[in-house]
Structure 1
Amino acid sequence: MKKPYLTYALSAEGKLVHIDSVANGKECGCFCTYCGEPLQAKQGAKRKHHFSHLSGTECEAAYESMLHLLAKEKIQEAFYNRTSLYMEFEYTSFCNQDKCIFMSHSRRCSNKEKRRIDIKEWYDSCEQEISYDNIRRRSDLKFFSKEFPERKPIYIEFCVTHASDEAKLHSGNKIIEILIEDEDSISSLIESGLVEKSKTVGEEWEGRKIKIVAFYGFKTKDYNNSNINESVWLTRCAFMPSGKIYLSNEHCNCKQIKRKDHRALCEVVFSAHNRYEAYNYAYTICSQKYHISNCNSCRNFVTVSSWFDAPYKMCKMYKSLQLHLEDFRTTGSFDTSRAKKCRFYSQVNVILDDTVEYFII
């Protein structure tokens, strides 16, 4: 692949100059930004104007070095010459309820927004090659405030082929690392601002993401959002004075979950979708809380299923209680609250799984 043309070089005074601002040929008096060798200016009519090494051997790192110096020059110029210079990154505000039962194991409810900040509103100075305050490294650029010296500065790191080392990026300083690919990417930074972004290299399904503009050491999230609310799917179990439980599934706003049936002693709300699991747990919870007997929490009340009939629950002691089997086969026909006076009642000792979350209202 043909290397891009060198369009900038160092003058005899050490300033970065453009190809069209110097004399043609050897008289340009310019030097390579990387190796320091003399260059000649080629300002012909056929090809793009560019510099080349007088020795005839092109320096491998010359273009990358030129981009690096150019980025520092152009961003510093933009800071001092433009009315504003923006930076923009994604800010995530998480729900302040850290024990919400509706929070999935992999996701906490949050709001995301783009925060766009004018750097010039906070900083009045920009210098090149300034050391970090707390590590023995030099930054490409440093934004700082002379008026408010206690204000934490922002450091800029430009990378063309090699990213900054991890120790620097995670040193606790506010750092914006910027990948420079060509001169156009530098122009884009000035026009659009230092906007957080990335791109996928390679095929979409197997490529890797690389960061074009990345922010380190900035506050990009909080856990104090009390305004987030979402529609959640819940299982509600209403526990009646009779010991019966009425179960329903519904969507509800997570911040507006209230008692629905005021006849109930309480309502147990689960985030679980498993109605059978919620039903059994609710009976155990309510039986322990109110000490009300119900057939559904008795070890003698079991589920019966056969190949010719739908599953139903029945009492194993029905003969001793002089009950008929048909009393159990019709859903809702058997009064499970009779357990209060049943001599065979024996509560099931259910051990509640700690991972099942619920609350009582």
Structure 2
Amino acid sequence: MIQFHNATDKDGKMIHINEVTQDNRAEHYFCIGCGKEMSAVLGEKREHHFRHKEATCSWESYLHQLGKKLIKQRFETSTEFIVQYYGQSTCQKWEECKLRKSCRQLKYQSKLLFSVDLKNNYDTCEEEAGYKGFRADLKLTHSEYPEREPIFLEIFVTHECKPDKIASGIKIIEIKINSEIDALRPIIENEGSWVEPKPYTPYNVKTISPIRFYNFERNVTPEYLLNRFCLYRDGNGLLRGRCEQNKITCQNVKTEHNDLSLFEVAILEKSVPNKQQYGLYSLGVALAIKKGFEIKNCFFCHWFKSRNNFCSLSVPTNRIDPKTGKPLFVRVPNHKIPSQNIDRTAVASSCTNYQTDNYLCSRIISSFNPDTYWEWLRDHDNF
């Protein structure tokens, strides 16, 4: 015998049988499917349930109405409404992409599970609302953007979505419900159930996918964020380098450049191992030097960690000269001064003993796989 575990109270609020106690069991409850009165059965031998006081209604109608109400309630009371469906990533630039070897696990066409929060684009859920001559079990719209294309949520118990509704181009999520618990499960498309909306293929009710998505965009172009090194001249004419995170993607790396850049190096962040001794800044400077730029930085000087006195700097101490009342200075090796306390580009540019360490540059460059970064040089006669 079919047991009903949900009903509505006199105010139309949905009630689960577990919310009914001996104290409130005598209140009036009504069937979600047919609207007729029900009584709460709270016996000790059988599972608690609601029972029609008169002849029982259609289980199909009950499930259909229950599915609509529970999903609508979930949409309206949750801060997010996540749905997931399958698609594929297709990159038209794959064959010419210099970074594709570092993306080898990101296949040319890979099946992806897209996760979308519908609450980001919709804030209203209506029952039995129309659009383009079709009626939806639930229609999602946005109150501030009525022109936005809606999404239909269709509850499928025994009657699946009709071909003409699918062919309309409306985005439809069809949710198969065989039991009360089905209306509570996450809205996730089965991997094996990915179907194209055209041509329409009829499915056997017994084997049909629990959840299907129609007219959703299935093809996406992958865009992976890149970190970028930029070489530029500051207000004093000094060549400097700086790194930018997540400013460009693999799709626009060839066209989007910093207006001040003379030379750029872009790299996938995952291409720099955690144990890598050198980072993007070091790679960018080393490559710029190899390109002929006269960029100077103490770190790239042959004398940086030498014991020569000319590679040390005078820094103030906490002691005060009793004669002048000013802080006393002491000579400290350059490499022992924290980077945040010294402008090594300015120091190197004014140093008469500066000598580029080409061996270091070669070592830095060789530590990176050339297939993991992208170089760009501005067409400019004078660096």
Relative to the length of structure 1, the TM-score reads 0.48
Which one has the largest radius of gyration?
Answer: 1
